[in-house]
Amino acid sequence: MTATLSSRPDTRHAAAPRSSAKRAVRPSPAPAIAPQAPPAQAGWHRATVLELPARGLRLRIGAGAQEVDARQAFSCLVALQAGDTVAALLDEQRQWWVMSVLERSGAQDLVLQGRGRLELSAPTVSAKAGELLQFAAPQVRLSCEQADAVGERLNLVGGAFKAIGATLATLFDRVQHRSKQYTRSTEGLDRTQAEHMELQARQLLQVHSEHALIEGERLVKARGAQIHFG
């Protein structure tokens, strides 16, 4: 009796795969690099002031996060404040310039400043203020051919006043003068005309001259506890 051989391999006793077999390791992907914003092109840009010029002028360009150092143009006389929206110019040398202030939030206060001399030259210069017009300086000089001051009330307060001129004319309804000492010197004629004239001295009233004339059309009267002539 002949045995029949099978051509199929017997896999019942095949060795099971080892659990410790090494698996293929995939390389981790490289971290993504954020694309950098392209440099600003030369020309005009809208910017926001971040720091004051005293600490270095710093701008934020547009609505992005680009911050640059800038200089204030010579013709821009407005004192900048943090938060101002300005017109910035980038020149061919990559220098940023603040040319003008476009917008400012808040009370819209405006201050003009210059590092050198500031002069206004025009045929007519006018300044109008709704509440207060104020000048503050160590020295104030006014040079003109004619000056007119018109107002309901004029107050002058100072340590010393000096007026020099050829003619002085004043016209008032009432004049009051009070001082600790009053000295007046006149080289020529000194005349006072009044309807009633009164002189009062607490201690002594002295009138001295080379010639003294007292004239009354109706009455000349001298009254005192003692009267001395000569």
Domain boundaries, the chain: 43-103
3-state secondary structure (DSSP) of residue 173: coil
Dihedral of CA 78/84/88/93: which sign? positive
In whole angstroms, what is the distance from residue 51 CA to residue 30 CA? Answer: 39
CA 106 to chain centre: 16
59 and 31 Cβ atoms separated by less than 8 Å: no
Nearest alpha-carbon partner for 93 in 62, 71, 74, 63: 71
At 90 the pLDDT is 95
In whole angstroms, what is the distance from residue 118 CA to residue 78 CA? Answer: 13
Dihedral of CA 215/220/225/229: which sign? positive
At 7 the pLDDT is 47
φ, ψ of residue 54 to 5 degrees: the values are -65, -30
SS (H, E, C) 88-149: EEECCCCCEEEEEEEECCCCCCCCECCCCCCCCCCCCCCCCCCCCCCCCCCCCCCCCCCCCC
Q: CA angle, 110 as apex, 106 and 115 as ends, to 5°?
A: 135
At 112 the pLDDT is 87
At 220 the pLDDT is 92
Here the tokens at position 85 are: 């929206």
DSSP letter, residue 225: S
Q: How many angstroms separate the Cα of 177 from the Cα of each of 116, 149, 155, 174, 181?
A: 44, 22, 14, 10, 11
In whole angstroms, what is the distance from residue 104 CA to residue 82 CA? Answer: 9
At 40 the pLDDT is 78
At 186 the pLDDT is 92
pLDDT, averaged in runs of 10, over the chain (230 residues): 47 50 60 61 92 83 88 91 93 94 84 85 91 90 89 89 90 91 92 92 92 92 89
Q: Topology of domain 43-103, per CATH?
A: OB fold (Dihydrolipoamide Acetyltransferase, E2P) (2.40.50)
Q: How many angstroms separate the Cα of 75 from the Cα of each of 78, 100, 101?
A: 9, 9, 12
Q: How many angstroms separate the Cα of 213 from the Cα of each of 64, 109, 210, 216?
A: 95, 69, 10, 10
φ, ψ of residue 55 to 5 degrees: the values are -105, 10
At 185 the pLDDT is 92
